[in-house]
Amino acid sequence: MIEILKQPWPWYVAGPLIGLIVPALLLLGNKHFGLSANFRHACAACLPAKIPFFQYDWKKERWNFFFAAGIIGGALLASQWLGNPAPIAVHPALAEELGQYGIRNYSHIVPQDIFTFSSLLSLRGLVIMTGGGFLVGFGSRYAGGCTSGHAIMGLSSLQWPSLVATCCFMAGGFLMANVLLPFILQL
């Protein structure tokens, strides 16, 4: 059984399992799937300021903190005991393109040439991690939810704003991966 968990699951198994989260949350507690609202809940819980955006009963949304903690805990458990020791397979064309940007060590799940403390303190690291993190956080709140909330929960409940947001997320991802990222990696 452990060996099955260590292998990548095909899309036709993993996709429906993720999709079943939506009816399970709705049927078991009338809850909505999404994670970006946790930041708002944390601010409402920790900041006693009279900011109207944070003036609501955040205690009714406590379950979302446990949901996020479960994702983090599950990721830690999976990385510790369910990791596949085989090296990451990278297509030769991608390896050649990454090599042009100085990224040659991708034996882990993320390229070690980018995701280290020394690279984080470089200009490229600040742009990628700090700037990217800010844009993702701002964008998810501006769009009224994160990619998981819109693409999984919103589309399954046939919400037009979620379709627009998901299309914009995809367009932004394509633009970032094909236009902006090569420019940033050359910094």
pTM for the full predicted model: 0.67
Q: What is the pLDDT of residues 40-50, one digit of tens each?
A: 888 888 877 78
Asked if the model's pLDDT at residue 163 lies above 90, the reply is yes
Q: What is the DSSP string of the chain?
A: -HHHHHSPPPHHHHHHHHHTHHHHHHHHHS----STHHHHHHHHHH--S--GGG-S-GGGGHHHHHHHHHHHHHHHHHHHHS---SPPP--HHHHHHHHHTT-----SSS-TTTSSHHHHTSHHHIIIIIIHHHHHHHHHHHTTS-HHIIIIIIHHTT-HHHHHHHHHHHHHHHHIIIIIHHHHHT-
pLDDT digits (tens, 9 = 90+) for 71-81: 899 989 888 88
